[in-house]
Amino acid sequence: MSLLDIQGLFVHFGGVAAVDNVSFDLREGEILGLIGPNGSGKTTVLNLLSGFLPPHAGHVRMRGEDITGMPPDRLAQRGVLRMFQMTRVFARMSAFDNLLTAGMARGLAESEAGKRAQALVEELTLGPVQYLDAGQLSGGQRKLLEFGMCFIEPPLVAMLDEPFAAVHPVMREVMANFIRSRHAQGHTFLLVSHDMPIIVDLCQRAVCMNAGRVIAAGDIHSVLQSHDVIEAYLGNSDTGPGHEPPSSLEVHPK
């Protein structure tokens, strides 16, 4: 069953259609990969779905309710949360206090927020740095902290924009395990990543965009093997410079 039903989303910046008639569904409890070369519109789709940008056309329905253009705070109350490509934490507050504040902002009592913050600090291996200002943490540790802030009150759907980019492999594995464990508990994810082995490892299905449009959707392996997808990553005269192709040889099928 669909958690989000996305129909005909369209947004343009001046003459550029950044998201052009995009339709797909996000199913309850799945991890759906959203892939595509640089500039293909993935972050813009997340902006539209999480209310940071209103679409010029199209609809988003959550379990049948029209949530198109709803602002981020109202969507967050309904359990739609996103993480950013650039991490957003309070740099001059300790890592632990960031978690506590995130919990209280989502309506938890301080004692409950504190308990959950402690458990998340341990699960996310942030114990040794929990009392440092978040601004002193490494990029990977800040990403882990943002995971904790997002999940201190688990969302219905978490939208993650490049969470693994430039993160140490050990922390990547902590993140991947965190996503796996929440997925096993039934949580739903929309995951944007250029890291194809991780996408194949975590996602059963994927949507691939190029130049604002959906060019393939479905089972992860069929998407990666699609002629249009390989072509888009290699780049051609219509799409500008490409990106490393998501060769199925690079990935390890489940």
Ligand X SMILES: Nc1ncnc2c1ncn2[C@@H]1O[C@H](COP(=O)(O)OP(=O)(O)OP(=O)(O)O)[C@@H](O)[C@H]1O
Residues in touch with Mg ion (CB under 5 A): 43
Pick between residue 4 and residue 18 the one whose CB is nearest to ligand X.
18
Contacts of residue 114, defined as CB under 8 A and 6 or more positions apart, other chains included, come to 100, 103
Structure tokens belonging to residue 146: 């943002």
91 binds, among ligand X, Mg ion, none (CB under 5 to 8 A by kind): none
Query: Under rule CB under 6 A, how many of the chain's residues touch ligand X?
Result: 12
| Residue 43 contacts ligand X per CB under 6 A | yes
48 is a site residue for ligand X (CB under 6 A) = no
- Which residue, 36 or 148, is less far from ligand X as judged by CB? 36
- Pick the stretch among 38-46, 68-76, 195-203, 244-252 that binds ligand X (CB under 6 A): 38-46
Nearer to ligand X, 127 or 197 (CB): 197
The structure tokens 């989000």 sit at: 4
- What are the residues whose beta carbons fall under 8 Å from the beta carbon of 110, sequence distance 6 or more? 100, 104
Closer CB to ligand X, residue 40 or residue 98?
Answer: 40
CA distance 210 to 207: 10
What's the CA gap between 184 and 38, in Å, rounded? 30
CB 199 within 8 A of CB 25: no
Q: Using CB under 6 A, which of the segments 39-47, 124-132, 169-177, 195-203 binds ligand X?
A: 39-47
- Biggest CA–CA distance in the chain, Å, is 58
- In the complex with Mg ion, which residue's Cβ is closer, 43 or 68? 43
What is the Cα gyration radius of the chain?
18
Q: Work out the end-to-end distance of the chain between its first and last CA atoms, rounded to an integer number of angstroms.
A: 24
CA atoms within 13 A on the CB side of 66: 5
Does the footprint of ligand X cover residue 18 (CB under 6 A)? yes
Note whether 106 and 153 are within 8 A (CB): yes
147-206 residues in contact with ligand X (CB under 6 A) are none
Indicate which of ligand X, Mg ion, none lies near residue 239 (CB less than 5 to 8 Å, by partner kind): none
Give 16 or 105: the residue with its C-beta nearer to ligand X. 16
**Nearest distance from residue 226's CB to ligand X, in Å?**
17
Tally of CA atoms within 13 A in the half-sphere of 176 that contains its CB: 18
Give residues 67-126 in contact with ligand X (rule: CB under 6 A): 85
According to the binding rule CB under 6 A, does residue 240 interact with ligand X? no
Residue with smallest beta-carbon separation from Mg ion: 43
Task: Please check whether residue 125 is in contact with residue 153, taking contact to mean a CB–CB distance below 8 angstroms.
Answer: no
Q: Under the rule (CB under 6 A), what is the footprint of ligand X?
A: 13, 16, 18, 36, 38-44, 85
